[in-house]
Amino acid sequence: MDIRIVDVEWALDDAGATYQAYVVEIARGLKTWAVRRRYSAFDDLRRAVSKELGPLASPFPGKNLFGRADPAKRQRELEAWLRELALAVAPAPAAYAAFTSFIREPPDAAPKATPPEKPARRSIVEPPAPAPEPPKPPSPPKWDPSFMSSDPLAGLADALPEPLPPKPAPKPKPPPKPPRAQKPEGEAVRKFPQTTARATFLTGGAKTYAATGEGLRDAIKAGDLNGVKDVLARDSSLASYQDRQTESMLHLAALFDHASIALALAAHGADPTVTNAAGESALDVAQPSLRSKLTAAREAWKQSSN
């Protein structure tokens, strides 16, 4: 007996799904026939004969977990395994029965119709759209003799625009205002009373300082000799006043180089030797020409006091 797998065909199962059928051709003597078996039938035969025969030398092609198997390669492997099985199956009754059942073709079995060919895929690239037809040129106007009339100016008045309305008359100008009445000569002009500050400024009035040490200090800083004399006239003891920085008034006048004010203070008993917190006296900060005058004024005050 000779057995070969001569082809691989596509077939439809009862559910309408496609599968690969292997065409197995068997020749025994002068008789030759063919059966079509799918891979699952080969696998069932392998499980049936392996109980008695065990694994054969030719490997049985296994299932592919990912993707489809190569039909030509699987065809060669199945054919080699099936030919070896045909030689080894005779001594095993159960295996022989399974093998003969595998190669026996049912009397009413006929190859199922191959599935129809799938239509060719439509190209992604669509054919270019036909170019639009160029627009037709407008037809020339037809001659209409009805627009002509016996009077060529007929209807011209209707075509003219309406006349514009007349412009409004300009508004009359208002009469001029009468001139202001002039005041008669010799009439006194009204004068408003001046404020105290303005009157003081215009008359040159002197500023009045408080008869305190700070008032005297303000007059010295302002260089106001009359203000200093006015404060000392009211309280001559302020000539020896020292501010919060222990600066004497004579020291302050000498520092600002107010010689007249310094002499006025010395004439009222201000001591030029009194020192401040820094240990400086009026003689230390006074100009050289002022030092002797301060000492002389101090001595004159002492003699007058005695």
For residue range 14-31, what is the model confidence (pLDDT) as tens digits? Answer: 888 888 888 999 988 889
Mean pLDDT lowest among 108-112, 124-128, 221-225:
108-112
- pLDDT over 80 (residue 194): no
So what's the pLDDT on residue 233? 92
Residue 10 is encoded by which pair of tokens?
Answer: 């596509």
Residue 240 vs residues 213, 267, 280, 305: alpha-carbon distances, Å = 9, 11, 15, 15
Q: pTM for this one? A: 0.35
pLDDT band at 193; cut points 50, 70, 90:
very low
pLDDT tens-place string over residues 101-125: 888 875 654 444 555 566 555 544 5
Q: What residue ranges define each of the domains in the chain, with the CATH number in brackets?
A: 2-103 (3.30.1520.10), 213-305 (1.25.40.20)
Cα(16)–Cα(276) distance, integer angstroms: 125
DSSP code, position 161? P
- Is 114 or 41 the better-scoring residue by pLDDT? 41
**Residue 294, amino acid:** L
Distance CA 123, CA 172 (A): 89
Query: How far is the C-alpha of 40 from the C-alpha of 195, rounded, in Å?
Result: 130
Query: What pLDDT, on the 0 to 100 scale, is given for residue 93?
Result: 85
